[in-house]
Structure 1
Amino acid sequence: MLCRDVMNVIEKEYPLNYALSWDNVGLLVGRDDKEVKKIYIALDATDKVIDEAVKNGADMLITHHPMIFSPIKKIHNLDFVGGRILKLIQNDISYYAMHTNYDVLGMAELSGDKMNMKDAEVLEVTAEGDIGEEDEPEGIGRVSDLEIPMTLRECCEDVKDAFHLGAVKVFGNLEDKVKRIAICPGSGKSVIQAALDKHADVLITGDIGHHEGIDAVAQGLAIIDGGHYGIEHIFIEDMRQYLEKNLKDVEVIAAPIIHPFLLV
C-alpha cells in the first residue's frame, strides 16, 4: 500500500476541507508514493516521537498537531523543527497531520462520548452539512444537558476517569450544581463565549489562563481544564483503531500516553 492510499482512507472519513482556514493539514513531509507497511501514530511530532518512529521502522508518521505550522524559510539542523524534518526525510518517513478536520469530524463526538453526553449539539459550528446527512452542522466541541445533575466536584471526577487524569485545574465553586456541560478538547479559550451562549454550566477543555478562567466564572461558567494533551490524547487510540479496521497488511503502532509536563 502506498502513502497516497493511506491518505485516501483517512480523507474519506476526515476530508481536508473540514479543517479551519488557518490550519496546516495533510501530507507535510515526504513522498505520497512511499510504500507503507508500518504507521506510527502520536499527538505531536516531538523529537522522541520521531526517534520512536525511526526505531520501530515506521514508513509513515501520523499526528494530530501539525509540526509545520508557521512558514519556514530555512531547513537545517541548527533549528529544532528543521532538524525533525531532516530526520524524517533521511529515514524516508512520510509525515501526515490531521488537526482541525479531525477536531470537527472525530474529536468533538469522541470526547462527548467519553463524557456520556446524550443528544449533544455542536458547540461552535464551523461547517454546514454532514458527510452523510444533509443540513446537519459540524464543528468544534459538544454541549448537552446531563440526565442527572451533579456537583462541579463530581464532574471533575468524571473528567479524570474519562481521560485517565490524575488531576485537573478548576475555576469555580466545587459544590455548585452542574446541569449542562460543554466540552472542547485542546485549547478552549476561543469557545468560552460559545459555551456561555449555549447556557453551559461548565466548559471542559484545556489551555485556560488565569484571566480567561476568572472572567468565565464571573459570567456564570465554571471551567475544568484537563490540559491540552490530557484530553486530546484520545486521538491516538481512536486513529489506531480506525486505521487497523480500514487498512490491510499495514501494522499500526500507537505512541504511549506520556504527558508533556509533570505536576510536582
Structure 2
Amino acid sequence: MICREIIKEIEVRFPKHYAMEWDNVGLQVGRSDKEVKRIYLALDATDEVIEEAADWGADMLITHHPMIFKAMKKINDEDFIGRRVLKLIRDDISYYAMHTNYDVMGMAELAGKVLELSEPEVLEVTGSMHSESGEVPVGIGRVADLAQPMDLKSCAEMVKKAFDLPNVKIFGEPDMQVHRLGVFPGSGKSAISVSLEKGVDVLVTGDIDHHEGIDAVAQKMAVIDAGHYGVEHIFIADMEHFCRERFPEAEIRTAKIRQPFWVLT
C-alpha cells in the first residue's frame, strides 16, 4: 500500500480533528507517496526505536507520542531530534504520530476494558461525535462504579496485574475503600479536578508529582500512579491488531514493551 492510503485508513478510525489544539499529529517525516510493505509500531520515536525500525527495513514508523512538538528552526546532527529526522530521511522511513486523537478515540475506551470497568463514562469530555442515538460525548479517560468495592491495596494490585507492571506508586491509605474508579492514560495532573468533581475514589494515571498526590489525598481521593508508559503501552498491541486487520499485505513489527527507566531498590 501507499503511505497516504494507510494514513487515510488510520484517520477514518482515529480522526485528526479529535486531537487537542496544542498537539502535533499526522505525518511528521517522510514521503506520503512511499510504498509501504513493513510497518514498525512503538510508543515513542527514540533513537533505539528508529535504529531498530531501520535495521528491520521498515518503510513506515507509527508511534503514539509525536517526536516533533514544536516548530524546528534547524535540522542538523548537533540536535537529538535533528539526528532522528536525518536518520528517518536517510533510511526513507515515513514517520506518523497519532497522539491525543488516539487518546480520545481509542486509548480511553481500551484502558477501561483493561480494567474491566462496567458501563464507563467519559472522564474528561473534550468534544462530541454523532451516533445513531444523537450526539455523544468523547474525551480522555473513563470513570465507573466498581461492581464490588475493594480496598486501595487490592485495587492497586489489580491495576498492576491488568497493565502487567513491575510496580505502581500509590497515594492514599491501603485500607481506604474504593467504590468509584477513574482512569486517565498518560499524564494525569490535569485530570485531578475533574476526577474530584465526578466523585472518583481512586484515579489511575501517570506522572503524578508529590504535591499533586498529597493534595488529592487531602481531598479524599487516592491516586495510583502506574506511570505514563505503564498505562499507555497498551497502544502498541491495539495498533498491531488494527494494522494486521486493515493492512494484511503488510508486515508488522512492534517495539519491545519496556519502561524507559529502571528502579533501584
| TM-score, structure 2 normalization | 0.98
Flag structure 2 segments of 5+ consecutive residues without an equivalent. Answer: none
Runs of 4 or more consecutive aligned structure 1 residues displaced over 6 Å after TM superposition:
none
**1-side partners of 2:230 and 2:132: how far apart?**
30
- The Cα shift of 1:134 comes to 2.8
**1-side partners of 2:260 and 2:133: how far apart?**
38
CA deviation vs aligned residue, 1:121-151 (integer Å, no higher than 9, x gap): 0001001125676311100100000010000
CA deviation vs aligned residue, 1:189-233 (integer Å, no higher than 9, x gap): 001001000000000000000000000110111000000001100
Q: Partner residue of 1:149?
A: 149
Q: Partner residue of 1:134?
A: 134
| Cα distance change of structure 1 residues 133 and 139 upon mapping to structure 2, 3 Å threshold | farther
* Percent identity (aligned): 58
Q: Within 5 Å, which residues of 2 pair with 1:2-41?
A: 2-41=2-41
**2-side partners of 1:201 and 1:258: how far apart?**
29
Q: Is the 8 A contact 1:28 1:68 kept in 2?
A: yes
**2-side partners of 1:80 and 1:14: how far apart?**
29
User: Residue 141 of structure 2 aligns to a residue in which SS?
Assistant: strand
- The Cα shift of 1:102 comes to 0.2
> Is 2:54 the counterpart of 1:54?
yes
Aligned residues: 264
Give the aligned residue type for 1:187.
S
Q: Within 5 Å, which residues of 2 pair with 1:87-166?
A: 87-130=87-130, 134-166=134-166
Q: Partner residue of 1:227?
A: 227
**1-side partners of 2:247 and 2:67: how far apart?**
25
Q: Partner residue of 2:76?
A: 76
**2-side partners of 1:86 and 1:54: how far apart?**
12
Q: Is the 8 A contact 1:19 1:101 kept in 2?
A: yes
- The Cα shift of 1:44 comes to 0.2
User: Residue 185 of structure 1 aligns to a residue in which SS?
Assistant: strand
Give the aligned residue type for 2:184.
C
Q: Within 5 Å, which residues of 2 pair with 1:167-206?
A: 167-206=167-206
Give the aligned residue type for 1:223.
V
| Cα distance change of structure 1 residues 174 and 99 upon mapping to structure 2, 3 Å threshold | same
Q: Partner residue of 1:239?
A: 239
Give the aligned residue type for 2:233.
H
| Cα distance change of structure 1 residues 75 and 208 upon mapping to structure 2, 3 Å threshold | same
| Cα distance change of structure 1 residues 173 and 190 upon mapping to structure 2, 3 Å threshold | same
> Is 2:46 the counterpart of 1:43?
no
- The Cα shift of 1:263 comes to 1.0
User: Residue 129 of structure 2 aligns to a residue in which SS?
Assistant: coil
Q: Is the 8 A contact 1:105 1:138 kept in 2?
A: yes
- The Cα shift of 1:261 comes to 0.4
- The Cα shift of 1:175 comes to 0.6
| TM-score, structure 1 normalization | 0.98
CA deviation vs aligned residue, 1:216-257 (integer Å, no higher than 9, x gap): 110111000000001100000100000100113101111110
Q: Partner residue of 1:210?
A: 210
Give the aligned residue type for 1:79.
D
**2-side partners of 1:7 and 1:63: how far apart?**
13
**2-side partners of 1:37 and 1:147: how far apart?**
45
**1-side partners of 2:209 and 2:12: how far apart?**
36
Q: Is the 8 A contact 1:129 1:135 kept in 2?
A: yes
Give the aligned residue type for 2:224.
I
- The Cα shift of 1:184 comes to 0.4
| Cα distance change of structure 1 residues 131 and 100 upon mapping to structure 2, 3 Å threshold | farther
User: Residue 215 of structure 2 aligns to a residue in which SS?
Assistant: helix
**Coordinate RMSD, CA, aligned:** 0.9
Flag structure 1 segments of 5+ consecutive residues without an equivalent. Answer: none
